[in-house]
Structures are given as C-alpha cells and as structure tokens.
Chain A
C-alpha cells in the first residue's frame, strides 16, 4: 500500500470535509437558536455566490467591493425571511417550519436566477487551485493550496463565530434564545429581532461557503446540492453543535474519499453518493443524537 497515496486521499478528504462543514455550520446556527431545520441553506449559498458574481459582472465591481454589497443583500434577505416566513409560523411544529423552508428554497432559487440569469459563472478569488509545491517537494504528496487556505478561512470563521457567541451582547442573546425561547423572552430579549439577526448571520456564513464553493466548482445551480452533502455531516456531529459540524465534516470527508478509493473499485464504484449517509446512519444507531448533539430526553 502506497503510504503517500493514502496520505493524499486522507488529507484531501479531511479538507473536503472542512468545506462540507462550512455549509453545515449555517444549518447548525439556525437550528440551534430557532429549532428550524433550514432546508433553504443550500439555496442561500447559491444566492450569495450568484449575487456576488452578479455584482462583479453586471456592475463591474471588484471582488472586495462586491463582497460587502453581497453581505448587505444577505442581511436584507435574512431579515425579510424572518419577517415574512417565520413570524407567521412561530409556534408551529418542526415539520411545518421545515416545509416552509423548502418552499423558501424554491423561491430563492427562482429569484436568484430571475435577477442574475441562468448562466454559469466563474468566480475568481486570488487563491490558486493548484498543488502546493512545498508539500509536493517535501513529502511527495499533492494537496491543493486552495483547500488549505479554505480550511484556514473556515477555522477563522468558526473562531469569529465562537468569539461572537461568547463575548458580544448579541451572541449572549443568541445563546439564551437557543437554550429556551420563553425564558429568553422573560428576561426581555426581543425574540423577533434576534431571529432576524440570526438569519442574517446564517446568510453571511452562506456567503463565505458560497464564495469558496463557487471558486472551487464554478457558480452554478448545482451549488444548491452542496446542502445535501452537509446533511450527513450534521447527522454525525449533531444538529446543534458547531464543533460537531467540524468534527463531523472531517470524519465524513475522510471516510467518503477513503471508501471510494479503497472499497469502491470492488463494488463497482460510485459509492460516494450513499456512503456518508450509511456511515452517519450507523453512527446514529450507537448515538442517536449525533456525536455532540444535545441528548434528547424523552419523558412521558
């Protein structure tokens, strides 16, 4: 067994996993604080990437101007979603809210292509997607520079989020809301405004994910499918935990690639589609709420 090849597959898998975790973090944020499983996260990633590219192509802005413009757009979108979709559905069961986010996903996908067209775009960010020469020379393994920098960006984002949750007033309010809505309301936290802020933050996370995935794969409709890849990550890590999303991402990414390379050829290949899900399923049989998820206590 070629140890270099194994290392390449493993590292490539871990880095892919970080990219999945990027998208999963958006889900976790919203689920943790409002109990809504936001099916529209994939559509939001697509919308963010397309808006940024749209600003760059149609209005000729540079990348560094387009990003703040897109941040503004995502904030408006997040607040609008909270106001129009979530507020009327406040006390409904989880499945109704889930369904509403599915409707929202359709709406955002249609809106994105209506506003910016259905063309595919490339997204140029100043990070090259070529093998890192340093690693190639020193260890004779191929790892892309882009993947490494994306992992670093993800780490920075998680750190920023963690800081926000721990140190700022808004972060504390978000944590309170995540713990118990009614108690938070009782101490005077404005629930609606907090949810609006929450969706805006999720929108910005979607923007980061959209930029990185868009640069990697091109900005096209298929970005919405990345959300499906994030689901096993969430299952593994638990729906309510950001470190869980990272750990889940690493595990899913690595195992998916290793399985495809080492088990795949023996069963006909193409197992990457279902392997992460089956793996997550097996995990759940042992720990039904995921690695880091909140233990569900069932009472009669």
Chain B
C-alpha cells in the first residue's frame, strides 16, 4: 500500500472531523476494552501467563535461527514446501509463481497482515487473478478499496449504514428491495456471496499466528471459519508467515493462546484454532494437495540485537490500539501504513524509515496503557522514545521545536539555572493569570490554548512548595 504516515497530522485532523468515523470508533471502550477486562478477571493466572509469554518469545527470538531450521525440518518431513523470502518482493514473486503453477484464476484469502505488508493482493490482481478476502471485515474493506484500519477488526471504522450501502452497490445480482436492517442479514448476504468464491478457488492463502518447530505446523486463529474454508477447499494452500511467528512446542502455543483471544476480543478462546501440517495425507478425502509456507524477513532480522527486538514478541492481538487514546480518537487509517496504534508507531518507522514516519512516535502521551495491557509485555512507550531520539539525532523536527528542545536540555542540565528560570516564569504567569485563573491565549502555547484554556499557575513552583513544606512553613 502507498504509505501516508508522513502526513499523520493532516490524516488525524480529517479523522477527528469525520463524524461517521467518530461514530464507528465510539464503541471501542464499551466493546473490546470492557470485554478484555472481563476476560482477564475470569482467569486469575492471566498476569503470570503474560510473564510466561514474554519468556517463551524471548527464548525463541534468542535462538530464532535454530528454531526456524527445526521448524523447516519437521514441516518438510510432513510434506510442506518451505520457501524463504528475504524481502516483500521475494515473497510476492514466490506466491505468484505458486499460483501460476496451480493455474489459479480465483484465489481466496484468510486474514493476513503479512499479506497487507507485502502488497500481495495488488500483485496477484495485476497478474490477472481474482483475489477475494474472506474474513468478513477484510471483505468489507476490500470492496471499498481500503486498507484494514485495525489488525483484528479491519472494518472497525465502518458503520452498519456504510456496509449496507456498499452491499447494495456491489451485489447487484440480488433483489434491490431486499431487507438489510439487522447485522445478521448483512452477514448472511456476505456468507452467500463468499461461499461461491470458496468453492471456486484454486488456491487459498492464509497467514499464521504461529509456526511450531516441534511439529512443523502452522496455526491460524479465527472466529468465522473463513480461514478454514480458505485452506481446506482449494487444491493448494499457501501460508505467508514472518520469521518471528515460530515457537518451540505445542505447550508454548497452549500458553500463548490463553493470552491471545482474551487480550484481543475478550473471548476465552477464539472459535477456531487450526493446526495445519503438510498437505492432505494418503486416503484423506479432503484438504489441499499441496501446502506451501513462505517465511518472510522483510527487515525483521535487522531488529534483532537492538532495543526493537522486543517488538518481535508481538502476537498481533490489537490490545495496544484498543486501549490507546490516540487510536480511539483518530482510528487506524490516520497512521498511514499497515500496522496502526502503538505497535504500528513502533514498526512503521522501522519499515519505512524514521523520516517518513516521524509523527507516529510523537503521537503519544506516553500514558503507558499499551504496555500495561500488552500480553507480551512489550515496552511500547520506551520503544517510541527510542524513535524520538533517533528522529532528533537525524535532524528531524521543525526549527522551533529543535531550538526549544535544545533550550530545555540546556536548562535541564543546570538545575540551579532551571529552578531560577522556573521561579521567574511561574511567578510571571501567576501575576498575569491571577484575574481569570486561566489563559485563553498564550504566545507559544497555541497548540494547547486553541482547544482548551491553560490553567494559570498560582505563582510558586513545585520545588518552592516542597521546600517550604519540608521546612514546616506550610
């Protein structure tokens, strides 16, 4: 996809002014957030499992080369074709070659963020294939020619009215006067339309939530069953998975699936967790005759050995964005690339370069909710801070921002000077704001006062009050 992360501020402004979007996003706190809280309360071991999840991923990442080799050995023994793709272009080429060899005209897809990352659909379409997203949310955004705005709820930015309008526009073979009032009626219509695609497809492509070294299996987690129809009906099943998806054993998967659905949707477990190993066996009446796994790097290996290695623990549950005040305000599209929310603000500068995504790590109050809910305990605010430092080191930011930051740094390193400057400043503002108690406008603070009043200081700094309190003056 064409990134727009470099215009984040403009994207965010239009998102805030988009009434339809704001209505769609308004359900987030009572929906996914409340559901996660409830699910977590029902499992007293949840916090202990977070620590275990972190340990599993840390161990695996520290031995990533060896676990990938073990995975490949066991997958190949079960009849899988394992392909290695260093770049997005390599992965696109490998998948297209497999589809061509299979004589594919229709390709169905389960939900896969990796396929968004590598721009797979456009590549297959350019080769003349019909590519059909079968996850309902992905289908809803595909028919609008949009990208997903959330990693587990791709159409979270759409209201039911918009979906109905799209279906009426697109499904013209159905009666124009049909009733589409209930969500169930819209789901039924999609089910009927997509069922034909499932049955017609020559190739089915899914992502993977996990690759298991012990068994050579790939795992998908879904609620709709679309991923299973995608991979069970066509003759060829292709899995696209990135290197950090590998875990050692079924016991490790067991521990992490206890975290995944609870963190994502607040379910005890997603409806379907499917382990796929090799193609159909001799005597099997169904399942694909060929099973390919494309293992993608696309820049991830460069994160190893850096502070960003911690971000490779991510299991793509979406909890960080569900709990992010910035995401809740502007939605996922404003972030301008594949991965939105806090994890997106960490990954996008890595993938596109900090110059093209500099606003993302700055679009955070460092409130820390993302880190506190992350099932893999990724220190997201800390990683965002790394990007801010990298951006500054590379000369990013406006002249006035850089000058201001330099002035502040100069003062902050000289405590006595800082305290004197603060005393003078606070005293001055205290006098100026005394009559009204707040500033409607203040030179240099327009970013704040444009939207709300700035409460006036009372004339003395915290340091002064503290010193007086310590001395017993009160």
To the question of whether A and B form a pair in one complex, the answer is no
Residues of A near any B CB (own CB < 8 A): none
Residues of B near any A CB (own CB < 8 A): none
